[in-house]
A and B are shown apart, each in its own frame.
Chain A
Amino acid sequence: MNSIISQWKADLLRTVRDRRFLLISLIMPVTFYLIFIHDGKAAIAGTDWGAYFMVSMASFGVVGAAVNTLGVRLSAERQGGWVRWLRTTPLSAVGYALVKVATQLLISLIIVLVVFLAAHVDQAVTLSTGRWAVLLAWLWIGSVPFAALGVLIGLAKTSAQVLGTLAFVGLSLLGGLLTPVQSLSPTMRTLAYWMPTYRYADPAWNLLAGRSLGLSNMAYLVGYTVIFLAAAAFVQQHLDSHPNAN
């Protein structure tokens, strides 16, 4: 347990000192929110644009942190042999994974809170305390499939940075986080419905409009999590069966 706390402390220190992380995960969604919002009171999908786009940007930030930052960081630690050394210490593989998940969850929480705060201050988005809490809880827990995708990307060797950026931008664009699905062509809209990013943000949009979260959204997210984790396990096993792997 002590070894987990020690690793977590170091991970948090490194995260706070990471400018790339601050830029992508915190400043970018907040800036986009402030720049692209013009009429926060416009109606969209049963709610107003100020609240709708707040969810979009919170999701955008969380996906970026998980897919891009986490993936690049895991890959760097593996590539640099650091993970191999850690495996010779009493810190277990499960402990290492727990720390990464805990750090990622904390980061997601902070991103969502910061975007909420920006929306509340700039566009006077107001919700009941209960609804704020449910929205926060969903955006927090629903980020799990993206953490799984981050783990998968982290297994890539030198290409993790490129893959992470591609997945982040691609999933955000196609999933309707940057432009609402309602404004997309029918083809693009059908494609968006397949995206984990859409399935992650849609329950939060539903919450704003007073609709139910939507069971099919959950099914998609669970399915994606299973696929990403299975792919990660497969790649890991493949790496382990080679003499020079860790």
Chain B
Amino acid sequence: MNPVICFDHVTKSFTHTRAVDDVSLKIFAGQSVTLLGPNGAGKSTSIALMLGLQKPTSGRVTLFGANPVRSISHERLGVVLQNVSIPDRLRVTECINLARGFYPHPLPLSTLLHLSGLEADAHLWANSLSGGKMRRLQFALAMAGDPHLLFLDEPTVGMDVAAKHHFWDTLHTLVTAGKTILLTTHDLNEADLISSRVIVMNHGRIVADAAPEVIKTQFASRQIHFSCATTDLLDALQNWPETVSVESRGQHYTISTRDSDQTLRRLLGRPWPIHDVLVTGGGLEEAFMRLTKEETK
């Protein structure tokens, strides 16, 4: 199968920095991928390269097997960028129709208004929309050409909670329909919900590339909290091989563990009178922090 996006040893240098440093990656049709990284990690430059907004210093970038700089390769691409202001003196419908006119097989106007939930705002001036509705209009513009690859740069910034959930549902429908989605976000919960693959970048390189569950188990520990009134368990717990650390405050214990299943089995197998067991953490956020911190050292 041919990849939708392919980086082959791609480097992009600017006068004083090397923003992308010998990166190779392939994204295939139907994947839902999140690109993560702290500011200056090379995310934005990688995106600019994928979309043909920049040319690589060395290496090769392809989009649908073609050079992304050529606008013909954008026919099956839909894009939501950050900090884009819609031109003035156009109504919402006119704006969407403008975008529809760019593509060979556009979706119907009514479908796009429905997808973005802008039916009631169809006749308003596009640049007078509120922040959240503006994001939805940009989503409608990105969907105008019925894209195979949907690229979303921080798509839910400025949306309220209800709008976010509605948006995530829409994305799930698109993933189910076989669309390829590439997302950047600061909301790790969003990445976890939508993506089947997470690529973490730092200092212009890929530091992790796996399913969110894999990244979480590899790079984030889980915490097991419980209470035990009788004996001091500190030493026993610390000796288990999967334990990262143990804290106790009175009769409350918190174990950080690399393998919560194994620790639980051991805990329940002992004759200790433990109660109120709670397993937490192991979030993508912790994994992300650890990954990007390790690299910085």
Contact A13 B74 (CB under 8 A): no
B89 touches A87 (CB 8 A): no
Contact across chains for B84 and A10 when beta carbons are under 8 A apart: no
A218 to chain B, nearest CB (A): 35
Q: What 0/1 pattern do residues 76 to 107 of B give for CB contact below 8 A with A? A: 01010111111111100011011111111000
Question: Would A81 and B14 count as touching, CB distance under 8 A?
Answer: no
Who on chain A is nearest to B138 by CB? A85
CB distance from A173 to the nearest CB of B (A): 30
Residues of B within 8 A of A76 (CB): 88
Whether a CB of chain B sits under 8 angstroms from the CB of A5 is: yes
> Is the Cβ of A89 less than 8 Å from the Cβ of B45?
no
- Interface set, chain B 44-80, CB cutoff 8 A to A: 44-45, 51-53, 71-72, 74-75, 77, 79
B111 to chain A, nearest CB (A): 18
Q: How far is the CB of B263 from the nearest CB of chain A, in Å?
A: 46
Cβ of A81 to closest chain B Cβ, rounded Å: 4
Give B16's nearest chain A residue, CB to CB.
A243
Task: Assess A77 versus B87: contact at CB under 8 Å? Given A85-B79, A241-B15.
Answer: yes
**A89-B74, A90-B74, A243-B17 given as contacts; is B97 within 8 A of A13 (CB)?**
no
Q: Write out the residue numbers on chain A whose beta carbons fall within 8 Å of the beta carbon of B77.
A: 88
Query: What's the Cα separation between A30 and B151 when bound, in Å?
Result: 49
Is the beta-carbon distance between A14 and B98 smaller than 8 angstroms? Answer: no
Q: Known A85-B81, A88-B79, A90-B74; judge A6-B101 contact (CB<8 A).
A: yes
Q: What secondary structure prevails in chain B residues at the interface with A?
A: loop
Q: How many residues of B contact A (CB 8 A)?
A: 38
B contact residues around A13 at 8 Å (CB)? 89-90, 94
Knowing A87-B52, A88-B74, the reply to whether A243 touches B45 (Cβ < 8 A) is yes
In the complex, what residues of B have CB within 8 A of residue A80's CB? 84-87
Give 1 or 0 for each of A85-111: 1 = CB within 8 Å of chain B CB. Answer: 101111111010000000000000000
- Among A3, A17, A18, A87, the residue within 8 A (CB) of B101 is A3
Which B residues are in CB contact (< 8 Å) with A89? 71, 74, 79, 99, 102-103, 145
Determine which of B44, B86, B104 lies in contact with A82 in the assembled complex, contact meaning CB atoms within 8 Å: B86
Which residues of B are found within 8 Å of A2, using beta-carbon distances? 101-102, 104
Interface pair A88/B53, CB less than 8 Å apart: yes
Contact A10 B90 (CB under 8 A): yes
Chain A, Cβ-Cβ closest to B19: A243
Nearest to A3 among chain B residues (CB) is B102
Closest B residue to A93 by CB, please name it. Answer: B71
Question: Considering only CB atoms, which chain B residue lies closest to A243 in the complex?
Answer: B14
Chain B residues with CB under 8 A of A85: 79, 81, 84, 141
- Measured between C-beta atoms, what is the minimum distance from B76 to chain A in Å? 9
Residues 49-98 of A contacting B (Cβ, < 8 Å):
76-77, 80-82, 84-85, 87-93, 95
B102→A91 contact, CB < 8 A? yes
| Bound Cα distance A84, B82 (Å) | 10
* B98-A6 in contact (CB<8A): yes
Please report the C-alpha to C-alpha distance between residue A91 and residue B83 in the assembled complex, in whole angstroms.
20
Chain A residues near B94 (CB, 8 Å)?
10, 13
State the Cβ distance, A22 to closest chain B Cβ, in Å.
12
* Residue of B whose beta carbon sits closest to that of A80: B85
A6 vs B103: C-alpha distance in the bound complex, in angstroms? 10
- Cβ contacts under 8 Å, A241 to chain B: 14-15
For B45, what are the chain A residues with a Cβ–Cβ distance below 8 Å?
Answer: 243
Nearest chain B residue, comparing its CB with the CB of A240? B54
Looking at the complex, which one of A82, A87, A91 makes contact with B87 (CB distance below 8 Å)? Answer: A82
Q: Answer whether residue A246 sits at the interface, using C-beta atoms and an 8 A cutoff.
A: yes
24 contacts between A and B (CB under 8 A): A3-B101, A5-B101, A6-B98, A9-B98, A10-B98, A13-B89, A13-B94, A14-B89, A14-B90, A80-B85, A80-B87, A82-B85, A87-B51, A88-B53, A89-B99, A89-B145, A90-B74, A90-B102, A90-B104, A90-B145, A91-B71, A241-B15, A243-B44, A246-B53
Chain B interface (Cβ within 8 Å of chain A)?
A: 14-15, 17, 19, 44-45, 51-53, 71-72, 74-75, 77, 79, 81-90, 94-95, 97-104, 141, 145, 151
**Other CB < 8 Å A-B pairs besides A3-B103, A80-B85, A93-B71, 15 of them?**
A2-B101, A6-B102, A10-B94, A10-B98, A14-B87, A14-B89, A18-B89, A81-B81, A85-B79, A88-B74, A89-B71, A89-B103, A90-B103, A90-B145, A243-B19
Q: Which 4 A-B pairs have the closest CB atoms?
A: A6-B101, A80-B85, A81-B84, A88-B79
